[in-house]
Chain A
Amino acid sequence: MQYETVIGLEVHVQLSTESKLFSGSATKFGAEPNTQANIFDLAMPGTLPVLNGKAVAMAVKFGVAIGAEIGKHSVFDRKNYFYPDLPKGYQVSQLDYPTVGKGTLTVTLDDGSEKVIGVTRAHMEEDAGKSLHEDYQGMTGIDLNRAGTPLLEIVSEPDLRSAKEAVAYLKKLHSIIRYLDISDAIMAQGSMRCDANVSIRPVGQEEFGTRTEIKNINSFKFVERAINYEVQRQKDVLEDGGRIVQETRLYDADKDETRSMRSKEVANDYRYFPEPDLLPIVIDDAYIEAIRATLPELPDTRGARFVSEYGLSEYDAGVLVATREMADYFETTAKLSGDAKLAANWVSQDLQALLNKHGWELDESPIQAERLAMLIQRIKDNTISGKIAKTVFDAMLDDSSDVDAIIEAKGLKQVTDSGALESLVDKVIAENPDQAQQYRDGKVQVIGFLVGQCMQLSKGKANPAQVNEILRGKLS
């Protein structure tokens, strides 16, 4: 039977505030255990929450960016359950009245087509602490530094139809969040986390199949693998005549499989009710408009501008705007070098290849936009050829001096002195009498070979256009 996959994602993003959602404790990553947990974070008796306005502003910023309805009257609720990393015995979240309501996200699929994915809601809540299961006298250690860090939980509609679509959605979400600068959104550090609700149904069937929720997926790559594994597992179950059990499953990246977390399934009843220690958050139009005014240019708009302003192809523009950093890098390079197309090629090809090869983030690259722009300028002013530029680019990796110094030191400057070039051409004609004759006989395409010989002889430093001209003059 042919099955269709149905996926919805629940993405938790840690908002990058300085202090926690309800207390003045710091939120820095990697601090010594429990040094960022104050009396409220430890749920000392009598302590009360006070809401961080920046977290609200960030949530609203996200909402405005995805064209969502903003809750004018949003309410915090208590979600009750016991766990040692949840100090109050309830998590403060938003159930019925989230700050961000329905919105949409447009993703570009592999075939270049676009698909609009619905975002059901995004609500604010507190993060939990961490349980460390290493052996402390046979016990579990609890670190509450993370407890109370503001989270935005972004819930998608079940609009995704494949693991690839899920990844495309997640990447787009990541991109927008980074553009908005509301979270580091680093999956490996847990500042962005993804749970996937996955089900399958026979093609043509309207009704959704029973879904499972996959937790603990901490990279884009694993999102794809975990979903693919789970889809196959569900198919196998159905083909064998079994039925899917609605449950939470954990993704194990080492084994590349999902497995049931049966112990967590014991009748969870969260007993949500409105948090009486907090009042409704009232957001008016003026507030929303003030936030809207702070929105940066978002990837879709920026991509369109790259096409119109710099004459890039839609594909190149799409690649360049994928992250705010990459787009900024490109624009700086384009402006400084005065050649947007060359800049686009260098950034999307050479630079991208370099980052991939070393696994670098953009800000780790030894070649920053200013130096790349200088390199491009030297191509444009004929100081070096495009080919030599690749050599210079490689040299720039280990040498932080400026581009001109590298070209000079390595003697890579293009030879434009006509005397030197003429003797070079004479030498090539003398060494290749047959080809020279063929040209004279009218087989003009052979000129390419002769130019190539000149370039080789000059180790690429000869100016190819000048060589071409001199050759034609001497052979005519």
Chain B
Amino acid sequence: MIEKTVAELSAALAAGETTSVALTQAYLDQIAAHNETLNAYITVCADSALAQARAADEARAAGSTAPLLGIPIAHKDLFCTEGVKTTSGSKILHNFISPYDATVVERMQAAGAVMLGKTNMDEFAMGSSNESSYYGAARNPWNLDRVPGGSSGGSAAAVAADLCAMATGTDTGGSIRQPAAFCGITGLKPSYGRVSRWGMIAYASSLDQAGPLCKTAEDAAILLNVMAGVDDKDSTSIDLPTEDFSAALNDSLEGLRIGLPKQHFAEGLNPAIDRAIRSAVAELEKLGAVVKEIDLPNSDLAISAYYVIAPAEASANLSRFDGVRYGYRCENPVDLEDMYKRSRSEGFGEEVKRRIMIGTYALSAGFYDAYYRKAQKIRRLVKEDYARAFEEVDVIIGPTTPSPAFELDSMKDSVTMYLEDIYTIALNLAGLPGMSVPAGFVDGLPIGMQIVAKDYAEAKLLNVAHQFQQVTDWHKQKPALSTAAKTKEA
């Protein structure tokens, strides 16, 4: 049962084929069996999950038809969960029991979902491998020597290995799409402003966006229906008419115009991925889509602009972690400055400190124009590239990542790691919605196809992804967990 999709589980629960308690217990058993190896969860909430499951079963008996009633979910550990430890993957929040719920958590709960626990992640969502987590790296279920991607690596690994039915993630530069690609699952980054950021521990406020990690596009639509919507607590959430994201899933792709950015099929792309994506696109052509090459001339600069804007915003967002009101404080500070400096230096990991340093430098007197302002100008150019492209095409398709999941500890310097996000990062700058769907295997590892649509056109993305999943079965492939575990032991 645990390998089923959300849609299937909903049907099974509604038909009385199983109960939420049974289902929740099954996932808890799977967690017990595999989390030690995968390290996908930082916190597992077995007791409260079972209590919620019982409540869900009772609610169903009483006639409730909430969309996610009784279905177990895992939340990335940067969503604040009242009464439950919320760490953002950092030592500095090792003891932080959130006094409130994130809007996303609240909505999932209101929809009847059962929270299994909190998933592992790169510290403060800064990373593409999950290795910067203070709680140890999560592993890729397809190969335990490989990273699950990041920063939502724990969520992706948990979904791939059936340690939950669905999970939440956040995407600042690719943090939903890249781990989804690496773990062979479906991940959706909605348009900026589509989902409330209230209660989501900020990395880079103008780029961060929450979205679902799940098994199919159909599930992603169901989850987005629950997550999306304006929130008075988030000034940057957008007030759009309520939309049923499942409504267009079965629309025909006849005449769909697909753009393939030449910059995303260029040097640096693993040739096997190149081939896999082109054959995936050929499947879409068979469904009636027409394909043309497009130009995104400022693609290369997106990563440069991103590594100014994200660290700059982060440098300020992370100033609140100062050892005064909550979180880690160093032992025996001699004075205030010592308390600040040691609490922060001991509480933050290396990558976080590096990005704070970069951001602080980029904003400092004399450098603002050359870095921050310049990056914001590039940001506009990147957005304009996409706007131009969308005059000619309906969706833009390419690889999610240039290579499949890499080995743990293999990225020796930050810059090499940063280049892993080369195809995903521009969307965050432009605020556009994007998805990664499984599109093949390279060296036994799953790879992802990225689909991009224009502002607020999530329904179009989901339609294309769903139609693709009707004619392919990459998303149905499962990692051989016990084998993987044995490999590790050997």
Q: Which of B80, B197, B363 contacts A273 (CB 8 A)?
A: B363
Cβ of A271 < 8 Å from any Cβ of B? yes
Q: Report chain A residues within 8 Å CB of B235.
A: 48-51, 277-279
How many residues of chain B have a CB within 8 Å of chain A?
A: 45
Cβ of A386 < 8 Å from any Cβ of B? no
Q: B189 to chain A: closest CB distance in Å? A: 17
B202 touches A46 (CB 8 A): yes
Q: Which of B197, B326, B336, B363 contacts A80 (CB 8 A)?
A: B363
B201 touches A45 (CB 8 A): yes
Q: Which of B201, B236, B312 contacts A277 (CB 8 A)?
A: B236
What is the bound-complex CA distance between A170 and B363, given in angstroms?
Answer: 35
What is the bound-complex CA distance between A5 and B362, given in angstroms?
Answer: 39
Given contacts A42-B325, A276-B205, A276-B206, contact A89 B233 (CB under 8 A): no
A90 touches B365 (CB 8 A): no
B236 touches A45 (CB 8 A): no
In this complex, which of B197, B206, B316 has the most chain A Cβ atoms within 10 angstroms of its Cβ? B316
What is the bound-complex CA distance between A46 and B79, given in angstroms?
Answer: 8
Cβ of B458 < 8 Å from any Cβ of A? no
Interface positions, chain A 34-81, Cβ under 8 Å from B, are 39, 42-51, 78, 80
Q: Report chain B residues within 8 Å CB of A273.
A: 312-313, 316, 363, 368, 372
Q: Report chain A residues within 8 Å CB of B202.
A: 45-46, 277
Q: Which of A48, A87, A272 contacts B197 (CB 8 A)?
A: A48
Interface positions, chain B 343-376, Cβ under 8 Å from A, are 360, 363-365, 368, 372
Q: B301 to chain A: closest CB distance in Å? A: 20
A89 touches B320 (CB 8 A): yes
Cβ of A464 < 8 Å from any Cβ of B? no
Cβ of B232 < 8 Å from any Cβ of A? yes
B99 touches A48 (CB 8 A): no
Q: Report chain A residues within 8 Å CB of B312.
A: 273
What is the bound-complex CA distance between A47 and B233, given in angstroms?
Answer: 8
Interface positions, chain B 229-243, Cβ under 8 Å from A, are 232-236
Q: Report chain B residues within 8 Å CB of A271.
A: 315-316, 360, 363-365, 368
Q: Which of A46, A78, A82 contacts B340 (CB 8 A)?
A: A82
Q: Mark A265-284, 1 if CB is under 8 A from B, else 0.
A: 00001011100111100000
What is the bound-complex CA distance between A278 and B233, given in angstroms?
Answer: 11
What is the bound-complex CA distance between A45 and B80, given in angstroms?
Answer: 8
Q: Report chain B residues within 8 Å CB of A279.
A: 235-236
Q: Report chain B residues within 8 Å CB of A42.
A: 325-326
B319 touches A39 (CB 8 A): no
Cβ of B474 < 8 Å from any Cβ of A? no
Q: Which of B80, B316, B336 contacts A78 (CB 8 A)?
A: B316
Q: Which of B315, B320, B336, B364 contacts A45 (CB 8 A)?
A: B320
Cβ of B447 < 8 Å from any Cβ of A? no
What is the bound-complex CA distance between A456 and B352, given in angstroms?
Answer: 91
A45 touches B368 (CB 8 A): no
What is the bound-complex CA distance between A44 and B98, given in angstroms?
Answer: 8
Q: Mark B305-325, 1 if CB is under 8 A from A, else 0.
A: 000000011011011111011
A43 touches B372 (CB 8 A): no
Looking across the interface, which residue of chain B has its beta carbon closest to that of A140? B336
Q: Which of B80, B322, B364 contacts A82 (CB 8 A)?
A: B322
What is the bound-complex CA distance between A25 and B98, given in angstroms?
Answer: 19
Looking across the interface, which residue of chain A has its beta carbon closest to that of B205? A276
B233 touches A46 (CB 8 A): no
A90 touches B234 (CB 8 A): no
Cβ of B96 < 8 Å from any Cβ of A? yes
A39 touches B99 (CB 8 A): yes
Q: B216 to chain A: closest CB distance in Å? A: 29
How many residues of chain A have a CB within 8 Å of chain B?
A: 29
Cβ of B302 < 8 Å from any Cβ of A? no
What is the bound-complex CA distance between A40 and B99, given in angstroms?
Answer: 11
Cβ of A338 < 8 Å from any Cβ of B? no
What is the bound-complex CA distance between A272 and B360, given in angstroms?
Answer: 11
Cβ of B260 < 8 Å from any Cβ of A? no
Q: Mark B77-89, 1 if CB is under 8 A from A, else 0.
A: 0111000001010
Looking across the interface, which residue of chain A has its beta carbon closest to that of B92? A45
Q: Report chain A residues within 8 Å CB of B199.
A: 46-47
Cβ of B468 < 8 Å from any Cβ of A? no
Q: Which of A47, A80, A89, A276 contacts B198 (CB 8 A)?
A: A47
Q: Report chain A residues within 8 Å CB of B232.
A: 50
Q: Report chain A residues within 8 Å CB of B99.
A: 39, 44
A43 touches B313 (CB 8 A): no
Given contacts A82-B322, A89-B320, contact A48 B336 (CB under 8 A): no
Interface positions, chain B 134-163, Cβ under 8 Å from A, are none
Cβ of A88 < 8 Å from any Cβ of B? yes
B205 touches A277 (CB 8 A): yes
In this complex, which of B79, B80, B320 has the most chain A Cβ atoms within 10 angstroms of its Cβ? B320
Q: Mark B89-111, 1 if CB is under 8 A from A, else 0.
A: 00001001011101000000000
What is the bound-complex CA distance between A278 and B193, given in angstroms?
Answer: 12
Looking across the interface, which residue of chain B has its beta carbon closest to that of A51? B235
Q: Which of A43, A45, A87, A276 contacts B93 (CB 8 A)?
A: A45
Interface positions, chain B 197-213, Cβ under 8 Å from A, are 197-202, 204-206
What is the bound-complex CA distance between A76 and B313, given in angstroms?
Answer: 14
Given contacts A48-B197, A84-B336, A276-B205, contact A43 B320 (CB under 8 A): yes
Looking across the interface, which residue of chain B has its beta carbon closest to that of A81? B319
Q: B486 to chain A: closest CB distance in Å? A: 39
Cβ of A142 < 8 Å from any Cβ of B? yes
Q: Report chain A residues within 8 Å CB of B315.
A: 80, 271
Looking across the interface, which residue of chain A has its beta carbon closest to that of B372? A273
B325 touches A269 (CB 8 A): no
What is the bound-complex CA distance between A38 and B209, given in angstroms?
Answer: 25
A90 touches B316 (CB 8 A): yes
In this complex, which of A47, A140, A142 has the most chain B Cβ atoms within 10 angstroms of its Cβ? A47
In this complex, which of B88, B325, B340 has the most chain A Cβ atoms within 10 angstroms of its Cβ? B325
B198 touches A46 (CB 8 A): yes
What is the bound-complex CA distance between A82 and B343, given in angstroms?
Answer: 13
What is the bound-complex CA distance between A39 and B99, given in angstroms?
Answer: 8
A-B contact pairs, 28 of them (CB 8 A): A43-B320, A43-B325, A44-B80, A44-B98, A44-B99, A44-B325, A44-B326, A45-B88, A45-B96, A45-B320, A46-B197, A48-B236, A50-B234, A80-B315, A80-B319, A82-B319, A84-B324, A87-B320, A88-B320, A89-B316, A89-B318, A142-B324, A271-B316, A271-B364, A271-B368, A273-B312, A273-B316, A278-B236
8 further interface pairs, Cβ-Cβ under 8 Å (given A46-B200, A51-B235, A84-B324) = A43-B325, A45-B201, A45-B321, A47-B198, A84-B322, A88-B320, A273-B368, A277-B236
- Interface residues in chain B, defined as those with a beta carbon under 8 Å from any beta carbon in chain A: 78-80, 86, 88, 93, 96, 98-100, 102, 197-202, 204-206, 232-236, 312-313, 315-316, 318-322, 324-326, 336, 340, 360, 363-365, 368, 372
